[in-house]
Amino acid sequence: MGIVEEFFHTFANQIQTKAVWIFILLIPFTAGFIWLLKKRRTKFRVLNAKTIAVCVVFGGYMGALFALTLSGREIGSAKKSFEWEPLWSYREAIFEGSRPLGIEIVSNILLFVPFGILMPIFFRSYEKVKAIVKAAAFLSLAIEVFQGITAIGLFEIDDVINNVLGTLIGIWVWNVGRDFMTGKHRKDGEFKLYDK
């Protein structure tokens, strides 16, 4: 099996085994986002089908994020709780050929791409890159600290780096998509993805 097939097989298996947790967590997260919307803490001012759909998508994403990172593991099951060395997983994946670590790196990056897309869509106070990156780093760090303290997983600096990288990719996707939708990608009749 090639690395791409192995990645998608691993990802599909994780989603399938955690589907119940994702659905269970979707409900309170969606309710929380609808509550924030009703309290006017979001970009949206009206509760309608479009805004409810955004709340469900964001709630589903947050449910998946927490289900994939925190559920299905026993407390104390990790052999080692903390890995402080930055970029150790990159070294092992690239120089020692560890496919599982390579897949984990890509998974951790992709896991936070939706965060970088959804935050500026939903919250006016998170339209700036710095604010979104801070929120992503805080959320990632909170997940990693919880994993390390409870030993349900390994606290890794690399995971925080990967999650922030995924968030930056998501912000870029959001900006390109927004500019494309508003026509800002066109300059003098030519297609432009970004300004020089």
167-186 pLDDT tens trace: 999 999 998 888 887 776 55
Query: Is the pLDDT reported for residue 57 higher than 90?
Result: yes
Mean pLDDT (the chain, rounded): 85
pLDDT of residue 196: 39
Paired tokens of 26? 């979707």
Query: Is the pLDDT reported for residue 2 higher than 80?
Result: no
Among the listed residues 73, 76, 89, 69, the one whose alpha carbon sits nearest the alpha carbon of residue 15: 69
Residue 118 · residue 58 · CB < 8 Å: yes
pTM equals 0.84
Q: How many residues are present in the chain? A: 196
What residues are paired with 82 via a beta bridge? 155
Query: Is the pLDDT reported for residue 24 higher than 80?
Result: yes
108: how many CB neighbours lie within 10 A of its CB?
A: 21
Among the listed residues 87, 68, 73, the one whose alpha carbon sits nearest the alpha carbon of residue 21: 68
